[in-house]
């Protein structure tokens, strides 16, 4: 029997015992660089806003539990993923509605896109949401949303759902009533933990920041101050990461979040890193080149940059970009790497 036929006979035989030869698949398992099915994509807010609002005419927030249109990466259709490890969607709460209280092992962020005055309640404390705010729902915390304003509220959800699926660690519980009891005054967590101080007898409660609303006005002030006092980074302009005041680390243990300011007439150096990133434009207009594919963006547009894809930005006016990725996980595992001025993709 020829050698190749002998091998095939061997492979078929060992398959009956749930074995397979590594040498036949190793090149696909251990690749020289990231080989992701995640592709670059952009969702222009003007194109999808009408779809989000139309969903409010079809189903209530209570019936849907969470009325969200998923931002599905075109390279991974049907998987409810925007990157390999992260989920994203646009959530709508109409005036007078409540999205019922529940909790789950998935960690979540909310980045407010449109509207003022809706709230998120997390473990007995409410926070009023404003455009540009970064809001955290830590793993296994009770949370509900409501809108007491007279305008629709839309925000970007980011969750680590694919990670929990991979780990088979998903759990969810429902409160039983639409709203959980409010036990603390609004702003309590920020006053306790957001002033550069911690209560003297404080003990760490979780791996996630005890602050669950990072207001945009404070973030914008910090960016403006650094823009006046620090040199512009050639790749990032001025870029800040949201932190956990207890540890100085990332605000969430599975999702890293950032805000950056790009000056007027800025052309950034190319940059790439292993964390696929989701960007949301807060202010300004510009263009980004992702592996030499140019995308034009403006306020509230959302775009995704795959792992190890080269990206550079060009602006004609000052711009602010929010972004999130799985960098916190990669850095905790010692896997994250970056490349400034990559010569090739």
Per-residue pLDDT, averaged over 61-79, amounts to 97
pLDDT over threshold 70, residue 345: no
Per-residue pLDDT, averaged over 230-255, amounts to 96
Lowest mean pLDDT among 86-100, 176-190, 230-244: 176-190
pLDDT over threshold 60, residue 153: yes
pLDDT over threshold 60, residue 161: yes
Q: pTM (2 decimals)?
A: 0.95
Task: For the chain, list the domains and their CATH numbers.
Answer: 36-340 (2.60.120.10)
pLDDT over threshold 50, residue 37: yes
Mean pLDDT, the chain, rounded, equals 95
Cα distance between residue 276 and residue 39, in whole Å: 10
Residues of the chain above pLDDT 70, percent:
98
Q: How confident is the model at residue 1 (pLDDT cuts 50, 70, 90)?
A: low
Lowest mean pLDDT among 39-43, 48-52, 186-190, 247-251: 186-190
Q: Quick: pLDDT tens for 179-237.
A: 999 999 998 999 888 888 887 887 777 789 999 999 999 999 999 999 999 999 999 99
Report residue 233: phi and psi, to 5°.
Answer: -70, 130
Per-residue pLDDT, averaged over 241-255, amounts to 95
Per-residue pLDDT, averaged over 156-160, amounts to 98
Per-residue pLDDT, averaged over 93-108, amounts to 97
pLDDT over threshold 70, residue 177: yes
Per-residue pLDDT, averaged over 79-86, amounts to 98
């Amino acid at each position: 029997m020829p050698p190749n036929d002998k091998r095939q006979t061997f492979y078929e035989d060992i398959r009956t015992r749930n074995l397979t030869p590594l040498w036949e698949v190793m090149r696909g398992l251990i690749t020289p660089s990231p080989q992701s099915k995640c592709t670059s994509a952009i969702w222009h807010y003007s194109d999808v806003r009408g779809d989000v609002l139309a969903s409010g005419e079809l189903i209530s927030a209570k019936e849907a539990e969470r009325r969200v249109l998923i931002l599905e990466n075109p390279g991974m259709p049907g998987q409810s993923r925007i990157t390999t490890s992260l989920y994203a969607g646009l959530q709508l709460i109409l005036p007078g509605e409540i999205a019922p209280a529940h909790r789950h092992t998935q960690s979540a962020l909310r980045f407010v896109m449109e509207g003022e005055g809706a709230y998120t309640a997390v473990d007995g404390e409410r926070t009023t949401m404003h455009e540009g705010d970064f809001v955290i729902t830590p793993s296994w915390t009770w949370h509900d949303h409501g809108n007491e304003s007279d305008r629709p509220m839309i925000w970007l959800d980011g969750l680590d759902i694919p990670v929990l699926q991979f780990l088979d660690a998903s759990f969810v519980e429902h409160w039983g009533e639409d709203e959980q009891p409010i036990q603390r005054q609004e702003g309590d967590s920020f006053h306790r933990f957001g002033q550069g101080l911690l209560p003297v007898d404080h003990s760490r409660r979780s791996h996630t920041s005890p602050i669950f609303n990072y207001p945009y006005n404070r973030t914008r002030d910090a960016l403006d101050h650094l823009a006046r006092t620090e040199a512009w980074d050639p790749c990032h302009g001025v870029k800040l990461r949201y932190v956990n005041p207890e540890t100085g680390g990332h605000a969430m243990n599975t999702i890293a979040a950032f805000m950056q300011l790009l000056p007027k007439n800025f052309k950034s150096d190319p940059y790439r890193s292993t964390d696929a990133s989701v960007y949301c434009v807060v202010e300004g207009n510009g263009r980004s080149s992702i592996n030499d594919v140019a995308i034009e963006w403006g306020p509230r547009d959302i775009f995704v940059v795959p792992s190890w894809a080269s990206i550079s930005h060009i602006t004609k006016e000052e711009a602010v970009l929010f972004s999130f990725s799985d960098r916190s996980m990669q850095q905790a595992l010692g896997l994250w790497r970056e490349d400034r001025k990559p010569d090739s993709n």
